[in-house]
Amino acid sequence: MWAVQYHRSGGPEVLRVEEIAAPSPRNGQVLVRTLASGVSRIDALYRRGRLPHGPTFPKQTGFDAIGEVVQGRAGAIRPGDRVAVVLGLEPLRGRGTTVELLAVEPSRCGAFPAGYEPRVEDCALVLGGLTALRAVRDGLRPRRGERVLVVGAGGPVGLAAIQIARGAGAAVDAVAGSAALEECQVLGADEAYDYRGEEAAQLRASRRYDGMVVAAGRPSDWFTAVRRGGRAALTDGGAWPESVVRAVRAGVQSIPIAAGHASGDLRWLARRIAGGDLVPVVGRRYGVGEVGRAHAELGAGPTRGARIIDHRRVP
Ligand SMILES: NC(=O)c1ccc[n+]([C@@H]2O[C@H](COP(=O)([O-])OP(=O)(O)OC[C@H]3O[C@@H](n4cnc5c(N)ncnc54)[C@H](OP(=O)(O)O)[C@@H]3O)[C@@H](O)[C@H]2O)c1
């Protein structure tokens, strides 16, 4: 089978498409034939060796995927199921999702409803959707009619957060790069502001929101957009420690978010994707041979949606 792997830490150029033996699922695992995987900042952190995950190489890349179970039966997952997969942090493993066949535990899979045929673009809502779900549902817990601001709204996390907060009955505004402003409004934001613009600068001291998701930018720049006693969910774990004091001074509770890999949450997402309640946005699709390019373009803006690897396009 093909797998995208690397034999040393480094830049995007270390990524290679290689032919390797297919994994044999262990007891308690299923084998998934993948259709697509996403490219996210966490992949770049792993690739550069910033997140320790063991001394041995080769390692694989990719943190989430969608695909079909082709072998094995574990928990509620069985052959023929279409699933969304998130590996979660795996400190001592070199396993990735940008592979043809993936041996994985059912605790990291959520099945789509029977009869639903997932599309490549649905992968935009897997890791991004899970992170957004945790940020909105567990972090902000918005009540109907509350006002929520999503900062860094143009990427997969932010675009999912807009939809999930809106679905919970909140009134949502968004701050994103200019390329994504229209999409933010199409997906449910009442107002969408360019983070480089004057209006966004004014919003920062507005105390207008009950809750805020910060998916990009410096969280401490935004705490005073939230009323005293409000909540801010920070999806960049690295930004949390340095912003704690500023959050306390602003009277805002700041909450670090980790996507984790709960199968119940993945099933929740899969149901909403299948039902059309959550709409995936893909900014750029790449073939399997273009994973290095996808990594190189990550974070380089302008961003509008997810970067997805289409596993049907193999070199
Ligand atoms: N905790 C977890 O488990 C988990 C999982 C997945 C992702 N994450 C984190 O969640 C964050 C968002 O991920 P993502 O993949 O959705 O991000 P992304 O694709 O990089 O999108 C970021 C968005 O924010 C905009 N932006 C850039 N700088 C900004 C600033 N200073 N102020 C406001 N907006 C700004 C970008 O616009 P332009 O590109 O147009 O400049 C873009 O619209 C990342 O920090 C990622 O590491 C966490």
Could you confirm whether domain 127-256 is CATH 3.90.180.10?
yes
Report domain extents, the chain. 2-123+280-310, 127-256
Specify burial of residue 42 (Cβ count, 10 A radius: 0-12, 13-18, 19+).
buried
- Residue 238 pLDDT: 82
185-227 residue pLDDT tens: 999 999 999 999 999 999 999 999 999 999 999 999 999 999 9
Beta strand 2-6 with 253-256 is unpaired
Is the beta carbon of 219 within 6 A of some atom in ligand 1? no
Instruction: Give yes or no for residue 127 CB within 6 A of ligand 1.
Output: yes
Span 74-115, pLDDT tens digits: 989 999 999 999 998 887 788 999 999 999 999 999 999 999
Residue 142: the pLDDT is: 97
CATH number for the domain formed by residue range(s) 2-123+280-310? 3.90.180.10
Name the 3-class secondary structure at 229: strand
Ligand 1 within 6 A of 236 CB?
A: yes
Q: Is 235 in the pocket of ligand 1 (CB under 6 A)?
A: yes
3-state secondary structure of 21: coil
| Rg of the chain taking only CA atoms, in angstroms | 19
Going by alpha carbons, the residue nearest to atom 21 of ligand 1 is 155
Q: What is the pLDDT of residue 9?
A: 95
Provide the 3-class DSSP secondary structure of residue 137.
helix
pLDDT in tens, 235-286: 998 888 889 999 999 999 999 998 888 899 999 999 999 999 999 999 999 9
CB of 299 closer than 6 A to ligand 1? yes
CA of 201 to the centre of ligand 1 (A): 18
Ligand 1 centroid–CA 213 distance in Å is: 11
The domains spanning 2-123+280-310 and 127-256 adopt the same CATH topology? yes
